[in-house]
């Protein structure tokens, strides 16, 4: 299950985000989106969980939770369109 995570602090790295979500199940991948020109975080990213039940638990437990001083928002990612 692919999750969309927003309102991330710029100081959050992919390892920290993976560690947070690993508390709720197996994490397949983590990607924080960075600005192409500055290289700085855009404040959002994606976490892929191994199965849907772990993803739903992560959404329930982490949406509106404080992480690195900010309240993050977690939801099911929308399918990518070209």
User: Residue 33 sits in a domain of what CATH number?
Assistant: 3.30.70.330
- 81 lies in some domain: no
Residue 35 counted as domain residue: yes
How many domains is the chain partitioned into structurally? 1
Residue 82 confidence class, pLDDT cut points 50, 70, 90 = low
Q: pLDDT tens, 12-50?
A: 999 999 999 999 999 999 999 999 999 999 999 999 999
Task: Report pTM.
Answer: 0.93
Nearest to 4 by CA among 39, 41, 32, 40: 32
Q: How do residues 33-42 score in pLDDT, each as one tens digit?
A: 999 999 999 9
Report pLDDT for 55.
Answer: 96
Helix-helix angle 14-22:52-62, to 10 degrees: 100
């Amino acid at each position: 299950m692919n999750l969309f995570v927003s309102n991330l602090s710029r100081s959050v790295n992919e390892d920290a985000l993976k560690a947070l979500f690993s508390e709720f199940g197996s994490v397949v991948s983590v990607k924080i989106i960075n600005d192409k020109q500055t290289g700085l975080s855009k404040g959002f990213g994606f976490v892929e969980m191994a199965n849907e039940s772990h993803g739903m638990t992560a959404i329930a437990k982490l949406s509106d939770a404080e992480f690195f001083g900010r309240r993050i928002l977690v939801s099911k990612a929308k399918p990518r369109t070209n």
